[in-house]
Structures are given as C-alpha cells and as structure tokens.
C-alpha cells in the first residue's frame, strides 16, 4: 500500500461560501438536489496515487460546493483502494459534514474470485456494499448503483437486492449505470412496484459518445429519474491535451485500459481542433465547453469529472458561467461532430 502522507495537511475548515456559486439541480422527481458538477474518484485516488494530492482535491471540491463524491468497489488501483483512501480522508476532514454530502458507490464488476464476485446477484451486491461501507468507515451510502447490466441474472433479483439494501438502511437511494433505454424502463418499473424508486442513472456520455440521446434520456424524463454523466471529456480527448501530440503523463500513454493511443486518429484530432476553436470564441476551454454542452440539457442532473490536481476543478467549474449555446453554435458543433 502506497500512502504518501509524510507531509500531513493541517486541519480542514471548509469555505463558508461553498454553496454560493455552485448550481444545484433536482434529481428527477425526488427530494435530492445534486451539484451540476460532481467529483468522480475513478482515477487518482488509489494506493498508487499521491494521498496528499487526493486529499487536497477533495477539500477543494467541497470548497467549490461540490458535495457529491462518486466511488465504486473496483476503483483504484488496486480494487477497493479508492474507497479505502476516501475513508481515511473522510475520517480526517469530512466527518463533521457527513449530512452535507452525497456519497455514492457501485457494484457490478469483478471484485473477488469465484462465481459470486461479479455482475448482479443479490449475494454479490449485498456483500460488496458491506465491504464498501467497511472500507469507507460509513454506516450508509447516499446512493448505491448497480454498475452495469447483468444479462444472466433476472432483473427482479438485481432490483430486489437494491430494494433490500435501502430497507436495511445501507443506502438511502439506488441507481443504475449503463443500462439501455429498454432495460432502464423495466428496472424502473420493478423498483417502483417494490416501493424503492430508481433515483438516478449514470451513463457514459460526451459530445462524442451520444448514445443516451437515442431514447434513454426520454425514458429518464418520463420516469422522473435523474441522470449523471461520466467520461464527459472522453478520457481527455475533449481537452487541449492531445492537440500537440501525446504528453508523457497522458492517460493514452500511461494507461491503455480506457484510452488507447491508436484511437486518437488524425480525423478525430481535426474535430477536436475545430471544437477547440469554437470554445475559444465562447471564451471557454474545450473541456469547459464539453461539460457545458451536456449541462445545456436539463435532463442531465450532474456531470462527473475526474481530476488529477485541484486547479482542474476550478477550471471545470468555470463552465457554469456559460451554459447557453446559440442556435448557430449548436449547428456548428453538430456539423463538426457528424462530419
């Protein structure tokens, strides 16, 4: 285990004005408001990362009014380490503010050997959440997700497990991630009949990955379910990071699991350059425009961002200064994306 905390930070006192400038949106037809920008701990919070930097990122997020921290059982690396590190940081800095926070976790990917450490069985989901709560030192999470569809387990069992988890007091709300429009409709119906409504759906969504627009967002609106988008910057493609090649610290160079250098073609880079020019005309960075593009749709409750340093949070939050797109800008963007 790598813990770089040999230079401990001083006591944390969050900014008094932390809620003054953040935009909060109602999550579907529920009583929950989420910040327009939430912090995902998918990357940069594992045991191989700098603990002090992780702690500084979380502090800065809360100071900016980002009170939603999103985790999963397999975030790291290694699996479970993001939750462990978050638990240590929570204990040091955020315990007095637990009731101000929305903390979420998920289960659905492989976590331990054997047939019961993956997918969507009742046994796996409940066991995984118990482990997550222990790692984080929490009595409950605010939102617990089924992380991905399981084609072999009946939806009734998976949704029944989510309902049981709420009734046991281990989660306040439940959600699903990466479900199709059709399966979302079915899952929402089952959960409603059980008496535990589906609060939120977490899909992968960016300007260059718009599958949710083909039916899913309509289902969410009709069912009163919120939406929180992950990978809004397409793993760094929708930033200025690759405009001049591949920096050594880029995800395409360091970690090919989620973004392979071969996927960044000349055609793609040409689109990115055109989008970057449009963003500059709007007075935004490409990353800011990419996040704003998602938030222009009121069906998107929040956008999950992942950062490697606190200053990136400040840059992302600045997108909230301009969420409006003229008809001309919309047309130009769609021409670029579809070209």
Q: Is residue 6 part of a domain?
A: no
Give percent of the chain above pLDDT 70.
93
Most distant CA pair in the chain: distance in Å?
A: 54
Q: Is residue 257 part of a domain?
A: no
Q: What is the pLDDT of residues 120-163, one digit of tens each?
A: 999 999 999 999 999 999 999 999 999 999 999 999 999 999 99
pLDDT tops 80 at residue 307: yes
Q: Is residue 75 part of a domain?
A: yes
pLDDT tops 70 at residue 250: no
Output the pLDDT for position 138.
98
Classify 20 as helix, strand or coil: coil
pLDDT tops 50 at residue 253: no
Q: What is the pLDDT of residues 67-122, one digit of tens each?
A: 999 999 999 999 999 999 999 999 999 999 999 999 999 999 999 999 999 999 99
* Domain count of the fold of the chain: 1
Helix (H) or strand (E) holding 287: helix 286-295
Other C-beta atoms lying within 10 Å of the C-beta of residue 168: 12
Q: Is residue 12 part of a domain?
A: no
214-230 per-residue burial string, b: 16 or more CB within 10 A, e: under 16: eebbebbbebbbbbbbb
Q: Is residue 330 part of a domain?
A: no
Q: Domain range spanning residue 120?
A: 24-242+290-323
Find, among 34, 192, 162, the residue nearest to 103 by Cα.
34
Output the pLDDT for position 6.
53
pLDDT tops 60 at residue 252: no
- Averaged pLDDT of the chain: 94
Count CA atoms closer than 13 A to 221's CA, side-chain side: 10
* CA–CA distance, 21 with 39 (Å, rounded to integer): 16
Q: What is the CATH number of the domain that holds 115?
A: 3.20.20.100
């Amino acid at each position: 285990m790598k813990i770089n905390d040999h230079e401990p930070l001083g006591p944390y006192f969050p900014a008094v004005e932390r809620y003054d400038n953040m935009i909060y949106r109602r999550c579907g037809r529920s009583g929950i408001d989420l910040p327009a920008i939430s912090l995902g701990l998918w990357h940069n919070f594992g045991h191989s990362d700098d603990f002090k930097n992780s702690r500084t990122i979380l502090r800065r997020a809360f100071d900016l009014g980002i009170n939603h921290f999103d985790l999963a059982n397999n975030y790291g690396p290694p699996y479970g380490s993001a939750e462990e590190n978050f638990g240590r940081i929570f204990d040091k800095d955020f315990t007095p503010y637990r009731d101000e926070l929305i903390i979420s976790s998920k289960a659905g990917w492989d976590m331990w050997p054997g047939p019961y450490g993956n997918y969507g069985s009742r046994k796996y989901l409940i066991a995984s959440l118990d482990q997550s709560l222990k790692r984080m030192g929490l009595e409950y999470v605010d939102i617990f997700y089924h992380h991905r569809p399981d084609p072999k387990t009946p939806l009734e069992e998976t949704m029944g497990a989510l309902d049981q988890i709420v009734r046991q007091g281990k989660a306040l709300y439940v959600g699903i991630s990466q479900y199709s429009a059709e399966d979302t409709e079915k899952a929402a119906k089952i959960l409603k009949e059980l008496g535990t409504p589906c609060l939120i759906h977490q899909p992968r969504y960016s300007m260059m990955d718009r599958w949710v627009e083909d039916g899913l967002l309509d289902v969410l609106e009709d069912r009163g379910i919120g939406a929180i988008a992950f990978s809004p910057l397409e793993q760094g493609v929708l930033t200025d990071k690759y405009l001049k090649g591949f920096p050594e610290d880029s995800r395409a160079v360091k970690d090919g699991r989620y973004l392979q250098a071969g996927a960044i073609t000349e055609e793609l880079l040409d689109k990115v350059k055109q989008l970057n020019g449009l963003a500059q005309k709007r007075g935004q960075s490409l990353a800011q425009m990419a996040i704003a593009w998602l938030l222009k749709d009121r069906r998107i409750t929040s956008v999950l961002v992942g950062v490697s340093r606190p200053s990136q949070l400040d840059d992302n939050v600045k997108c909230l200064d301009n969420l409006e797109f003229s008809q001309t800008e919309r047309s130009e963007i769609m021409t670029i994306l579809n070209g």
